[in-house]
Structure 1
Amino acid sequence: MSLENLSINFATVRQAGSFGEIVDACLRHGITSISPWREHVAQAGLAEAARIVAENGLRVTGHCRGGFFPAIDAAGRQAAIEDNLRAIDEAAALNANCLVVVVGGLPKGSRDLPGARQMVEDGMAEILPHARQVGVKLALEPLHPFYAAERACLNTLKQSLDLCDRLGEGTGVAIDVYHVWWDPELEEQVARAGRNRQILAHHICDWLVPTADPLNDRGMMGDGVVDLGRFRAMIERAGFLGPQEVEIFSHRWQARPVDEVLGIIVERYDSVCQADTAA
């Protein structure tokens, strides 16, 4: 079985430790694609993280994360812009396929959801020229509506693709099954993203029933209700044949030994995550 199209998001295996330790764990299992978080890069130092990536021939499927544009005042919005510009430079240094952008929710004390969405669009427009200049694509990640107030005021693929269309070149979407599997317009919008080559990343996990904690109780692939084979077939029909990036925020999985977790991921990637050709 080839693991060429299996990527590990560092959020899945935080228990492994540092940037280098997570990479070592992935390599022990034959996994050579990763998606680091900025905290791991900062801990290692950007130059050291880039060295580890280059010397091990790793593919960086995404850098997590940019975004969080809305703020209560101009100073806060400017600080977010500056932080996103730094994130873009980090993604460039790591030769990442994209910078994943979780756009942010309502500013503290606000009830103005349209206003927050406008701040997101303004912020994206501000950072996009630099991203284009250094060759980093910006992947908007719509989050489940549960997160609309505090994490992401873009909650459907349609909203995200509409914004990409207004912004233009250098933008696209990260399609995470956890956040969009429920969407009645999913197939139509995935096809739309494919036509315009706007699928920049594909994240996988599963939705558990019941879910104890919408943030930290994501399921291992095959343990929940998402038909991952059909989902992957939809993605591939849209023209995206790139990696499936495993991103599992879960206290229960992060309490288990990292090699056990990675071993199960490899098995499930083979048994439940391959495209259903009958779909």
Structure 2
Amino acid sequence: MVSCVKLFAPGPFQAHQLRSGDPYELSKGHPVLCLPTGGRGARANLLGGTVLETDPAVEQAGVDAGFTPEPGVMRAPDVAVGNVPDVAGWVQGAPPLAVEYADRGQDEEELQSKIAELLAAGTQHVWVVRLMGPRRVEVYTPGQKLRTLGPGESLVAPGILKNAVPVEALYDREAAHEVTLRNLLQRRGYESLEAVREVGREEGELAHARAVLRRQLGKRGMTLDAAQDARIDRTADLATLDRWLDQALVAKTTDEALR
């Protein structure tokens, strides 16, 4: 959350006249002074950005990226999801999802102007995270009534995010870390931490079965050639390894044991 105050200075100005690092946005050619945020807003902004950037469906996201849908407008959402290319300069158009953090000192009139300009430029969802008073998130979408969600509820952005986002994950550290972990696991092909544990258990059982089979073959005086050894390593079916172990108790050759 950056505290923005519109300055009624002469205009019109254009986005190309602003440089990266200038403390301004532009609204219809007029400069909007944007000041640094406080500690609470800074912490929440980092948490929310991490949660959204790690969602498995997200390829591009950024913090304070400047978007210019037209020459006289340049808006920088606290967090933008989508349309954040890895190139220098302002971004043309608008992000599909924008998140704003509103805390003490927020200029409400300016915030509503910013939301309206983002939606008009093509943003599909604007989430305003309220840090003052009861924690809540206001959801703005084109052509729909304002919705407000609180703790225990979840936010969705179909076509932009894979996962629903618990309201608390946008400002609470523990909730944000839990969702971020889930997202990162899904990016590696695991649906949950329990799924990782299950894979670990299965791998442990397979490793044990392979070791027992090799030990039994060794006790019977049978030697594995390279191809047979590799075949055991490739086998990921526990029932097959158990069958080979039973056969190894009576087989006369390794070929008979592994048939």
TM-score normalized by the length of structure 2? 0.30
* Structure possessing the higher relative contact order (Cα contacts under 8 Å, 6 or more residues apart): 1
From the two aligned structures, give the one with the greater helix fraction: 1
TM-score normalized with structure 1 length: 0.29
